[in-house]
Amino acid sequence: MSFTQEEIIRSGYKLQAAPVDSWRFYDEINPIPGYFQFDWLSSRHPDLYHQFALSTVGLMEKLHTIIDLTGCDVLDIGAGTGRSAMGAAQKAKRVFAVDFYLSVVLFGKSQLQRTNLANVHYINGDREHLPLPENSVDVVINAWAELNPKEAYRVLKPNGYLIQLGAIPNALCGELTSELAPDYPWLPKDCAPAEVFNPTYPDRQDTADNSIWNGIPVIGSINIHQFTYVAHYQNYSEAACITGRLYGSKAKRYFMTREQSTFSWRLQIIMGQVCK
């Protein structure tokens, strides 16, 4: 069944997923859901989003070198198809994976059944009204998703950790950012220089104050760890197909003409300890 973009949005968070692999066929001039519509793309085509989301694997691998989640109850806000929640579950006691879109939750649960993880619990819920009581988790993670810092603060135990994971602000589309920025008004035009995508580019540590989280009380400063990660797709035509569906034909051509199956990202992990 095909929809218009308006019908997809109107049908809301209960929209069913389209059949696996159906994302491979679409109108390149007027795709539905449109390019960069990440929430709608992942709810309509969770199998596409799951294959794309390898940067989250890199984020979670790095996170385990920065903090030990052993024995922790972790809440993953905007858990999506499960890359972040399942990554956290390698160490955590329990992971509560919250996502608003029902199709994504169902897809995530199906992915879980393919693993031997028994400690991930999907919950259909909204980041604005988290379905957990106050002071209930040790760690909140939020990977490639929007955050309501006040709500995250409410559910964290005293001295709990809030952790935001994603790209540095001027490299939201990884090494493709400067290629795509001229075509999309919402991408920052002062793109990160090409050198940061070289896998040997050094990690960088920085700090921020709590203004980045709307002033929620934190202990000391918030730490930012930046690093370069190279994601490997099956082959270059698959890299072109996946990124082309998410970002448009320029992205597709980028991987096809270079016969490139890797995708390099400058990622960051922002971590702070709440004060209650």
Ligand X SMILES: C[S@@+](CC[C@H](N)C(=O)[O-])C[C@H]1O[C@@H](n2cnc3c(N)ncnc32)[C@H](O)[C@@H]1O
- Residues lying near ligand X in the complex (CB under 6 A) are found at 38-39, 42-43, 53, 56, 78-80, 83-84, 98-101, 104, 126-128, 143-145
HSE on the CB side for 163, CA within 13 Å?
28
Strands of 137-143's sheet in order across: 120-124, 94-99, 73-77, 137-143, 156-167, 262-274, 218-232, 204-208
Smallest separation, CB 85 to ligand X (Å)? 7
Q: Which is nearer to ligand X, 42 or 177 (CB)?
A: 42
Smallest separation, CB 131 to ligand X (Å)? 10
Residue number of the CB closest to ligand X reads 80
Q: Which is nearer to ligand X, 39 or 73 (CB)?
A: 39
Beta bridge partners of 74: 95, 139
Strand residue runs (E) in the chain: 73-77, 94-99, 120-124, 137-143, 156-167, 204-208, 218-232, 262-274
Q: Which is nearer to ligand X, 56 or 228 (CB)?
A: 56
Q: Which is nearer to ligand X, 29 or 60 (CB)?
A: 60
Q: Which is nearer to ligand X, 31 or 58 (CB)?
A: 58
Smallest separation, CB 235 to ligand X (Å)? 22
Smallest separation, CB 198 to ligand X (Å)? 24
Contacts for 208 with CB less than 8 Å, ≥ 6 apart: 221, 222, 224, 270
Smallest separation, CB 166 to ligand X (Å)? 8
- What b/e sequence results for 198-209 when a residue is b if at least 16 CB atoms lie within 10 Å of its CB, and e otherwise? eeebeeeeeeee
Smallest separation, CB 111 to ligand X (Å)? 11
Q: Which is nearer to ligand X, 72 or 104 (CB)?
A: 104
Beta bridge partners of 143: 165
CB 231 within 8 A of CB 55: yes
